[in-house]
A = this chain, B = another copy of it.
Amino acid sequence: MRPSKLSRRWLLIALTTALMPLAMLSQSPGTARTAEVLDLPSWSDGASKKSIVDFVEAVTKKDGPDYVKPEERIAVFDNDGTLWCEMPIYPQVVFLMNRAKTIAATKGPEIQNLPLVRAATSGDIQTLTSMGPKGTQDLVNILHPNLTVGEFEKIVSEWIATAKHPRFNQPYTDCVYQPMIEVIAYLKKNGFTTYIVSGGGTDFMRPWTEKTYGIVPEHVIGSTCKLDYSSSDGEPKIMRLPEIDFINDKDRKPVAIERAIGRRPIAAFGNSNGDQQMLEWTAAGKGKRLALLVHHTDSKREYKYDRDSKVGRLDKALDEANEKGWTVVDMKNDWKRVFAFESD
């Protein structure tokens, strides 16, 4: 009985008959156990990896007590420091510093002397970083007023294609954490929908997240400026206005999730105090949940920071994680590899 002898009609019958059991098979716990080996190769065996795999097995096990329907398998990821390297400066701030030099030269002193612009052109990283997402959005608005969304997208795309991380000398989109890329793929394979929920600008992230993470533009939730629609000249356009609309940080993250998705996530991934409320909101829901903090403990392969007064991005969230038993990833020990470009 060779394949070539099979009629087309019979193939269709076979297909129809086989589809259902195969679909069911793909969600059995056996598949998840295989995934544990195949899908998270950059994770060391240990409590962190186990918490991820146990969670995914539990919520995908049909007829299990923790089963969650695929449409409710929502996972949210912070970006800076959770999916890509945020040190020594947020990449979006580097983008703005690069742009500031170009743009300020074409402007008068009323722009050049604005404290944020001065900080950007002079490389005053501490001022820029200490301003947080609001400062970043303010600077975006000062530097890029009166652009259409398409024009801004083009500027970001050109920058991200050429800019390189100062220490790793690699494109920023390669300075992404390989173990987290594997988590995104593993979740998607198990029926999850994955969102970015970041303090970074929505319009700064959307041009490259699909290629870099496999996360489509409509699943990118970030900080935003106001927009204006007009069609006075017959050609409709959407302009970015130099006015902040939403800063997606801290207690605003659960709010943004509710507004954009309307479902409470069952898994949340972050690395700083800005993610605390998002993890808290996710973890407090009914049923099995996963709340995970990436703890930067590896100064050799990446960076080491948490309560450090100069950075101070992770103290309250770490306390709550320890108190409530959230997963805290020890980057140094839990990750066999941080970046894909590392030599073996």
Interface residues of chain A, those whose CB is within 8 Å of chain B, are 1, 3, 6, 10-15, 17-19, 22, 71, 149, 193, 202, 206, 216-218, 220, 224, 227-231, 235-236, 238, 251-252, 254-255, 258-263, 277, 280-281, 284
Q: Measured between alpha carbons, how far is A176 from B220 in the docked complex, in Å?
A: 32
Contact flag A3-B15 (CB < 8 Å), given A230-B251, A259-B224: no
A-B contact pairs, 5 of them (CB 8 A): A193-B218, A217-B261, A229-B255, A231-B281, A260-B260
Q: When the two chains form the complex, which single residue of B22, B71, B238 contacts A258, counting CB atoms closer than 8 Å?
A: B238
A-B contacts besides A218-B260, A229-B251, 6 pairs, CB < 8 Å? A3-B17, A12-B18, A15-B15, A71-B216, A231-B281, A235-B284
Beta-carbon contact of A280 and B228 below 8 Å: no
Q: Which residues of B contact A18 (CB under 8 A)?
A: 11-12, 14-15
Asked whether, in the complex, the Cβ of B3 is within 8 Å of the Cβ of A262, the reply is no
Which residues of B have CB within 8 Å of A71? 216
Task: Given A231-B277, A236-B277, A280-B236, check contact A262 B206 (CB 8 Å).
Answer: yes
Chain B, Cβ-Cβ closest to A253: B229
The 7 closest A-B pairs by CB, nearest first: A217-B262, A14-B14, A229-B251, A11-B18, A229-B254, A227-B255, A218-B261
Contact of A284 among B202, B217, B236, B263 (CB under 8 A): B236
Q: How far is the CB of A10 from chain B (nearest CB, A)?
A: 7
Please determine whether B229 and A277 come into contact, CB atoms closer than 8 angstroms: yes
Q: How far is the CA of A229 from the CA of B255 in the complex (A)?
A: 6
Residues in B neighbouring A149, C-beta threshold 8 A: 258
Oligomer: number of copies: 2
Decide if A218 touches B263 in the complex (CB within 8 Å).
Answer: yes
Complex: A224 Cα to B238 Cα, angstroms: 21
- A280 cross-chain contacts in B, Cβ below 8 A: 231, 236
Contact call B6/A14, Cβ cutoff below 8 A = yes
Q: A17-B3, A254-B238 are in contact. Are A259 and B227 (CB under 8 A)?
A: yes
A262 touches B14 (CB 8 A): no
Complex Cα distance, B252 from A202, in Å, reads: 18
Q: How far is the CB of A9 from chain B (nearest CB, A)?
A: 11
Contact partners of A217 in chain B: CB under 8 A: 261-263
**Residue from B1, B3, B255, B260 in contact with A228 in the complex, judged by beta carbons closer than 8 Å:** B255
Expressed in whole angstroms, the minimum distance between the Cβ of A207 and any Cβ of chain B is 9
Contact between B10 and A1 (Cβ–Cβ < 8 Å)? yes
Closest Cβ of chain B: how far from A338's Cβ, in Å?
A: 29
Q: Is the CB of B22 within 8 A of A15?
A: yes
Residue among A193, A228, A236, A263 with the most chain B CB within 10 A? A236
Q: Report A183 CB to chain B, min CB distance, Å.
A: 21
Q: Which residue of the partner chain, among B228, B262, B277, B284, contacts A218 with CB atoms under 8 Å?
A: B262
Closest CB in chain B relative to A259 CB, distance in Å: 6
Looking at A13, A17, A217, A262, which has the most chain B CB atoms within 10 Å of its CB?
A262
Which residues in B have their C-beta under 8 angstroms from that of A19? Answer: 15
